[in-house]
Structure 1
């Protein structure tokens, strides 16, 4: 029988430089995670995880394997909800830390119907969960930001006004970071609802699938609803100001101009830092 060898734990050794580190951990760890859809069904997505804890000034390092172990355990047996306090509290306990942070970048699929025929196909939206906690187990400061990137169509009001025929239009993106209300009994912010609300700010939504009657509808809807990026971001601001469960937000609209070699862009934020 081979006797177990006791190996030195270098990470636990003392550091004498007196520098407390804000975040130490792993980045771009790929993992499948399970999410709850608005309809109650579960969706498995391919996520890139960034996970970290704060490191005290007296400790040389952290045990990096514990991040991967926890992410793997949750991937197999748990659902990643909008309230990630239990996940972060577990990380602080495992790594004997006073703060923890996790980011999960993923593509989330929503079944989307064409506007006229009603035929549907899944459409992917770039999303991110960004959660952090600081505290001693008695008093804790928790923050959760839900980010979505929503593709839209926008048509230029100036082009429509000055042209005898048509107007230039292009695909654009609304990128939103929503700081969620994490108090007890706060409304749930579903990704599906956030996407639908932001699409209302566009000249017209974009779709994964269109037949000719649908394409006619989309083209005419854009033409009747021209918007600059300034219009889109102001309308998106009005949507998020009144959105239940959102305390603050950061917005960016970028249009991939069809008649220029540059993009049009606008940004705005309210009650949001970081």
Structure 2
């Protein structure tokens, strides 16, 4: 009879310091999501599977983390699974059960997702790429699940546009155009401003299932920027996007605030203690740095702030 192999992970470490997050990252798996009366959606997803580690234990059982992920994904294939956050939630709860030394288990998932789209002027069918963000944290007090997305759009800087508008006003006056005509022209024709590609990230986290429609969440994030962008764009579409973006110039801070307003309006039935995370990062076109803004708050707080406007 073979001797039992030693469990080195269960021994005491040389330095007895507890760790918050220990596990595996970069785990790629296929996830199949069922849809009523439609073909399932198959995602190539990347997982992080993590637990906390007490100070008296040398290491975590990494193989158990992988075992749990494989079990959950096999269940998702054999039984209908409609929401990626549920996959993460079940995995986190099983991790907590299998690791008797841990008090918290986390599962995070990210996957690329294609949605059907239509160009704004030529009305041609196309597709848009978004990143699905899902996760769950399980403790003895319960499980919190998270769902969200990261989308790409276009923004225009109001500050540079204001300077260009003033330049246009002075030039029109020099040409003898009357004050009223100048004001009307500037109202009707938005002036140039430096533009950038923007990246909006929006997630909602709550106890149990957040009951958030992912596609509605994606719409809120896409509408938070100056204009949407499209993989396919004929000349009328390019004209539409350029005009729309410059007619709706926004700072990076404005995008986050518009996300907050959109979530409050779109999800009236979500509980006040749901945690909303909103991030906007802009790839600046005239600077070597990028612009960033973010806010994390309970939905009840956002509702109060939006109502006060």
What is the TM-score with the length of structure 1 in the denominator? 0.82
Q: Does the 8 Å contact 2:89/2:144 carry over to 1?
A: no
How far did 1:133 drift? 0.8
Alignment of 1:218-237 (within 5 A): 218-237=241-260
Report 1:28-107 matches (<5 A): 28-35=26-33, 41-78=39-76, 79=81, 81-83=84-86, 84-96=88-100, 97-107=102-112
Q: CA deviation at 1:134?
A: 0.7
- 3-state DSSP class of the match of 2:85? coil
- Contact 1:38 1:190 (C-alpha < 8 Å) held by counterparts: no
* 1:51, distance to aligned residue in structure 2 (A): 0.7
Asked whether 1:203 is paired with 2:226, we answer yes
Secondary structure, counterpart of 1:91 in structure 2: helix
The answer to whether the 8 A contact 2:69-2:91 is kept is no
Distance 1:125 1:7, change over 3 A: same
TM-score by length of 2: 0.73
Root-mean-square deviation over aligned CA pairs: 2.9
- Relative to structure 2, which stretch is displaced further, 260-269 or 4-13? 4-13
CA distance in 2: counterparts of 1:160 and 1:21, whole angstroms: 49
CA displacement at 1:39 relative to structure 2: 8.8
| Mapped partners of 2:236, 2:153: distance in 1 | 19
| Rg comparison, structure with higher value | 2
Q: Distance in 2 between matches of 1:119 and 1:89?
A: 44
Q: Secondary structure at the match of 2:123?
A: coil
Equivalent-residue separation in structure 1 for 2:216 and 2:5 (angstroms): 52
What does 1:115-134 correspond to in 2, within 5 Å? 115-134=120-139
Q: 1:58 to 1:223 in 2, by over 3 A?
A: closer
Aligned mate of 2:290, from 263, 266, 273: 263
Compare 38-47 and 168-177 and name the one that shifted more.
Answer: 38-47
For structure 2, the residue ranges without an aligned partner over 5 or more in a row are: 169-190, 300-309
3-state SS of paired residue (1:144): strand
Instruction: Tell me the number of residue pairs that the alignment of Structure 1 and Structure 2 aligns.
Output: 263
CA distance in 1, matches of 2:198, 2:119: 19
Alpha-carbon offset, residue 271 of structure 1: 2.7
Distance 1:92 1:34 in 2: 24
For 2:286 and 2:204, the matched residues in 1 are separated by 32
> Residues 195 and 16 of structure 1: is their aligned pair in 2 closer, same or farther, counting only changes over 3 Å?
same
Instruction: Mark the CA change 1:47 to 1:261 in structure 2 (over 3 Å): closer, same or farther.
Output: same
Structure 1 residues 119, 182: CA separation in 2 closer, same or farther (over 3 Å shift)? farther
The answer for unaligned runs of 5 or more in structure 1 is none
Q: Determine the structure 2 residue equivalent to 1:108.
A: 113
